[in-house]
Structure 1
Amino acid sequence: MTIAATRTHVALPARTLLVCGAVSGPLYFLTTLTQAAVRDGFDLTKHPASMLSNGDAGWIQVTNFLLTGVLMIAGAIGLSRTLEPGIGSTWGPRLLGVFGASLLFAAVFKADPGNGFPAGSGPGTISTAGVLHMAAGSVGFLSLIVATFVLASRFSREGRRGWAVYSRATGIAFFASFAGISSGNANAVVMLAFWATVMLAWGWVTAVVVHTARSAR
């Protein structure tokens, strides 16, 4: 086998892994927003996506967490194989891998029901599973936020100022909304801002993965 053939053999799986990472965000939000629109009692101004894991149809969101978590981890592995050595080439993919792993934990340890969802539920109670779910989410979100700044440093060093600004702006916006929802004062504005910045952050992941895949051609 020639050296060229060997390189092709190595590159193709990496691109496949990157594709997995690229589709994780769109799949997550397509599934989540569809459920949010049709499930009785769910309100974007009151409930985070994690609460969709409860009720008779909760298995859909649990499966969503599992699939997107695996896809995100695959994408992180693809990045680690594709990025040239340098700033962010190690910790960028690792942090995104931690984010993917947090989704798997979110599937295993479900968020507690409450605040009217599932329909008919009363005030929220705190269970061990619920605490573990929140811990996994916190670790995952913070890892994603740090990843935006780690890769922003890489983009800056490479002279890609637009990507650096995009990455830092995403990290700052997501951190601000995460701090807001973690403060315990999650009113409608804070909750909608959190939904919007989660979409922004995952969109950033998709953009970075796609950009990396194209650059590797």
Structure 2
Amino acid sequence: MTTNDLTVPTTTRISTRALLTGGIVAGPLYVAVWLGQAFTREGFDITRHPASLLANGGPGWIQTLNFVVSGLLSIGAAVGLRRTLTGRGSTWGPRLLVAYGVGLLLAAIFKADPASGFPAGTPADYAEISSRGVGHFVAGGIGFSGLIAACLVLAVHFRSVGRRALSRFSAITGVLFFGAFAGLSAGAGSRPTIIAFDLAVTLAWIWLTVICTDERRGHH
């Protein structure tokens, strides 16, 4: 065995672990930045305003950067998972997770329109949709559809390899996120649908952290 034979696998292993570590921290980082703004930005009500509205106003760059960083970390996590997963769903699960990351990046480019009194000074009944706002809806459709599908595909994968707890967690996350997203789309921003969606987003990030932690632990 030559020196190169030893070097290549070691380099790959470190790189994969780094990508999975990025997936582990993506969720806690996103949620921390989101909640930090939610409870400090003037006029923001976490029960009335989705996180995407935080990209508006003077400090809006913080949430925009949050979308970019979390999107890149999610894409990196997908690459790491593609390297470690084997069997049914090991290809399409990570690919669909990439779509989620791309959706986050697009959300940074196409900001949500001001709405429901935020940012401060926006009329409470303001609900105009610009071309940029349409782009944000498209970004959400791409990202959230990818996330839901990734959860369900990986649920099948984990079941096929006998990891039933991860399979159930993945399936539950996908189903609950689908319900929350559908409710948000149909509920026109009502408080119950905003709260349910916030909880679903948090659950989805926990899910990504859990599966990346599990794969990183098993990747030697």
Give the C-alpha shift of residue 2 in structure 1: 5.3
Q: Could you tell me which of 131, 136, 139 is aligned with 2:139?
A: 136
- 1:157 paired residue number: 160
Q: 2: CA distance between counterparts of 1:213 and 1:34?
A: 28
Q: Please state if 1:181 is matched with 2:189.
A: no
- 1:19 paired residue number: 21
Any idea what SS the aligned residue of 2:173 has? Answer: helix
- 1:198 paired residue number: 201
Q: Please state if 1:105 is matched with 2:106.
A: yes
Letter in 2 for 1:167: S
Letter in 2 for 1:140: G
Q: 2: CA distance between counterparts of 1:111 and 1:78?
A: 30
- 1:213 paired residue number: 216
RMSD: 1.1
Letter in 2 for 1:201: A
Structure 1 residues 1-12: aligned runs within 5 Å: 1=3, 3-12=5-14
Any idea what SS the aligned residue of 1:40 has? Answer: coil
Structure 1 length-normalised TM: 0.96
Structure 1 residues 120-135: aligned runs within 5 Å: 120-122=121-123, 123-135=126-138
Which 5+ residue runs of structure 1 have no aligned equivalent? none
Any idea what SS the aligned residue of 1:156 has? Answer: helix
Q: 1: CA distance between counterparts of 2:115 and 2:179?
A: 25
8 Å CA contact 2:187, 2:193 repeated in 1: no
Q: Please state if 1:41 is matched with 2:43.
A: yes
- 1:72 paired residue number: 74
For these two proteins, the number of residue pairs brought into alignment is 216
- 1:116 paired residue number: 117
Any idea what SS the aligned residue of 1:186 has? Answer: coil
- 2:57 paired residue number: 55
Letter in 1 for 2:48: K
Q: 2: CA distance between counterparts of 1:107 and 1:62?
A: 5
Any idea what SS the aligned residue of 2:120 has? Answer: coil
- 1:94 paired residue number: 95
Give the C-alpha shift of residue 216 in structure 1: 1.1
Structure 2 length-normalised TM: 0.95
- 1:82 paired residue number: 84
Q: 2: CA distance between counterparts of 1:54 and 1:201?
A: 24
8 Å CA contact 1:42, 1:118 repeated in 2: yes
Q: 1: CA distance between counterparts of 2:209 and 2:56?
A: 28
Which 5+ residue runs of structure 2 have no aligned equivalent? none
- 2:169 paired residue number: 166
Q: Show structure 1 runs of 4+ deviating over 6 A.
A: none
